Amino acid sequence: MTNGRLTIVAIAVLGIGASAFAREQSGASARAAASAPLGIGRAATPDEIRKLDIDVRPDGRGLPAGKGTAREGAAIYAQKCASCHGRNGEGATFDRLVATDSGKNFDFAMNAKLPRAVGNYWPYATTLYDYTYRAMPFLQPGTLTPDETYAVVAYILSLNKVIAEDAVMDQASLPQVKMPARDRFVIDNRRGGKVVK
Ligand code: HEC
């Protein structure tokens, strides 16, 4: 809008002799406006986009190349995670990461004392990769390499007795891990009612 008004003013002021120049200018500003709607900033480079484009979906799409085992992850965990989450994932100053009991019938709604953690509540192992890679360690997010992330994820899954200690976690194997709580979550496919977003 602002651009359009400015262009009209420019044509009026510059007069007929300068109108070709003004048309040229208005073409250039239209092109700039198309690539930057607010007329500020610049387009992100592919490299900048790659650094931010780290989401991993439940089916594993977005997982990077790399691999790790629980044995490798144990050392990383002790150094970078245990201070907040406990030596064995039992929780310390912050969240517990290990729990295998989900009650007789997934009783979380009835029993507030039942702790929710990766092993008894999370439906997808891939989410553990996504979350750890983007958000942990809490004070240095983004510092783990993909190999370190696969290793520490493998360690947490093995503490939760979801995978064996020597299982290799990578792009192909992690999405195949079936979490104990997987079937407790269903996609809400009801139609016709009020849509709540
Ligand atoms: C300085 C303390 C600190 C350190 C170190 C730390 N975390 Fe955390 N972690 C947190 C906090 C705080 C939360 C909760 C964040 C929130 O709810 O927004 C959390 C949450 C988590 C959760 C989600 C738990 C759940 O069930 O909701 C996982 C998984 C996790 N951290 C993994 C790790 C791993 C793996 C490491 C080491 C690489 C690590 N954390 C290091 C503080 C820490």
* Ligand 1 surroundings by CB, under 6 angstroms: 80-81, 83-85, 94-95, 97, 117-118, 128, 131-132, 136-139, 152
pTM above 0.75, yes or no: yes
User: What are the structural domain ranges in the chain?
Assistant: 2-35, 49-184
Give the three-class secondary structure for 67.
Answer: strand
Tens digits of residue pLDDT in 4-47: 444 433 333 333 334 444 444 555 555 555 556 788 888 899 99
Report how far ligand 1's centroid is from the alpha carbon of 94 (Å).
7
Q: Point out the ligand 1 atom lying closest to the alpha carbon of residue 93.
A: 2
CATH architecture of 49-184: Orthogonal Bundle (1.10)
What's the helix, strand, coil split of the chain in %, to 5? 45, 5, 50
Q: How far apart are CA 148 and CA 57, in angstroms?
A: 19
Give the three-class secondary structure for 138.
Answer: coil
Tens digits of residue pLDDT in 88-142: 999 999 999 999 999 988 999 999 999 999 999 999 999 999 999 999 999 999 9
Q: How far apart are CA 6 and CA 197, in angstroms?
A: 40
